[in-house]
C-alpha cells in the first residue's frame, strides 16, 4: 500500500511501545503525527518480552531505563503531536508522586507529553504539570464530566493538552 497522497486534518497517533511498529505505520501512511505509550504497552515490546522470557526480572530502574530507550527511539519517528509517556500509577499513587515522575519523563525527549490518569490525583498532577510548563495527555477518560475536569485542570496551558478518551468501555 502506498502512503496517503493527501494528509487528513485528523491527527494520527500510534498507540504502542514498539518503534519498529511505529516505523512500519509511518512507511504505510507516509507520516505519523504522534504516539501514545504506557507501561503495559512497553511491556509488550519485543525486546522487553525477550528479557522477561529469558527469566530476567527487571528492577524499577531497569524498567525506567528501558522505557526511556524505547521512547527516545520513537521520538524522531513522529510529528508535532509528540510522544505521550504515561506515568506508573495505581489508585494509591499521589499527585506529587505522579508529578515527580512526569517531570523526569518530560526531560527524556523534546516532544514529550506526560500522560496521567483521569483521576482526582491525576488531574491534580496535570494542574501541577501545566503550571510547570509540562505538556499533558489525560488518559482513562470515560465521561463528559471527566473531560470537563480535564479542561478545568489544563486551561492554563499554552501548549496543546490531549485527552485519550475510552469510548464504549
Q: Say what angle helices 19-29 and 60-74 make with each other, to 10 degrees.
A: 20
CA-based R_g, the chain, Å:
16
- The residue written with cell numbers 500510534 in the block is 14
Helix (H) or strand (E) run with residue 136 in it: strand 136-141
Rounded distance, CA 1 to CA 3, Å?
A: 7
Q: Say what angle helices 144-154 and 120-131 make with each other, to 10 degrees.
A: 30
Note if 115 is an active site residue.
yes
Rounded distance, CA 83 to CA 36, Å?
A: 6
Cell of 38: 504506557
Identify which of 71, 81, 68, 88 has the alpha carbon closest to the alpha carbon of residue 16.
Answer: 71
Catalytic residue among 6, 9, 69, 115: 115
Give the active site residues: 115
Amino acid at each position: 500500500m502506498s502512503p496517503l497522497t493527501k494528509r487528513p486534518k485528523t491527527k494520527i497517533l500510534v498507540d504502542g511501545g514498539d518503534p519498529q511498529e511505529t516505523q512500519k505505520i509511518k512507511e504505510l501512511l507516509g507520516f505519523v503525527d504522534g504516539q501514545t505509550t504506557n507501561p503495559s504497552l512497553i511491556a509488550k515490546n519485543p525486546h522487553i518480552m525477550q528479557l522477561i522470557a529469558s527469566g530476567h526480572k527487571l528492577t524499577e530502574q531497569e524498567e525506567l531505563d528501558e522505557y526511556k530507550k524505547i521512547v527516545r527511539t520513537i521520538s524522531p519517528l513522529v510529528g508535532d503531536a509528540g510522544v505521550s509517556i504515561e506515568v506508573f500509577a495505581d489508585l494509591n499513587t499521589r499527585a506529587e508522586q505522579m508529578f515527580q515522575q512526569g517531570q523526569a519523563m518530560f526531560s527524556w525527549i523534546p516532544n514529550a507529553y506526560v500522560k496521567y490518569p483521569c483521576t482526582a490525583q491525576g488531574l491534580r498532577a496535570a494542574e501541577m504539570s501545566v503550571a510547570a510548563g509540562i505538556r499533558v495527555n489525560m488518559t482513562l477518560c470515560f465521561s463528559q464530566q471527566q473531560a470537563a475536569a480535564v479542561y478545568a485542570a489544563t486551561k492554563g496551558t499554552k501548549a496543546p493538552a490531549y485527552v485519550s478518551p475510552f469510548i464504549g468501555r
